[in-house]
A = this chain, B = another copy of it.
Amino acid sequence: MVSHFPPSNEHLDDQMVKMEVNLDDIPGEWLGYVMDLLFEAGANDVFYTPIYMKKNRPGVLLQLLCSQEHINTMKEILFKETTTLGIRYYPLTVHRLERMFRKVTTEWGEVTVKEGIYEGHVVQRAPEFEECKSIAQLHNIPLKKVYEMVWKALGNEN
């Protein structure tokens, strides 16, 4: 099962679903693993929110976003890997920006910058986190230094 890749042009996707599960009877350490499984199986996003449940129980609200075609896959993981007896979900619309990738050159090599384009204008520019992290580790420099160098390189190109 591969991840769901939305198209790279700006678009409205009305085939998306948010799925939710309340959990008060599962250890937190299992939930880190469940998140990985859901991403691997094609979830577009997975995240946890702390909630206060009945009987003074600190619980966790698991939320995930997926396309409708992945609903059954997600349900299977949630039922098998968590302790829930019920899963709720509802449709939603996602407006995604056009995504483009460019390279900028720093003194430590190239870094990819992901751009988000809204109605034809670049509104987002995000250096790829994993690449910056690799440079930081390789050169033994603070991560924020790497980001600063990328911002500088980006600035000079404009």
Contact = CB atoms under 8 A, between A and B. Distances in A.
A18 B51 CA distance: 15
Interface residues of A, number: 80
A59 interface: yes
Contacts of A55: 29, 32, 56
Contact of A86 (B63, B90, B95): B95
18 contacts: A18-B88, A25-B29, A27-B27, A28-B58, A29-B57, A32-B57, A35-B54, A45-B53, A47-B54, A50-B58, A52-B58, A85-B96, A85-B114, A86-B97, A90-B91, A125-B148, A149-B155, A151-B151
A84 B148 CA distance: 16
- Oligomer copy total: 6
Interface of A: 16, 18, 22-36, 39, 45-61, 63, 65, 75-76, 79-81, 83-97, 99, 114, 116, 118, 123-126, 129, 133, 136, 142-144, 148-149, 151-156, 158
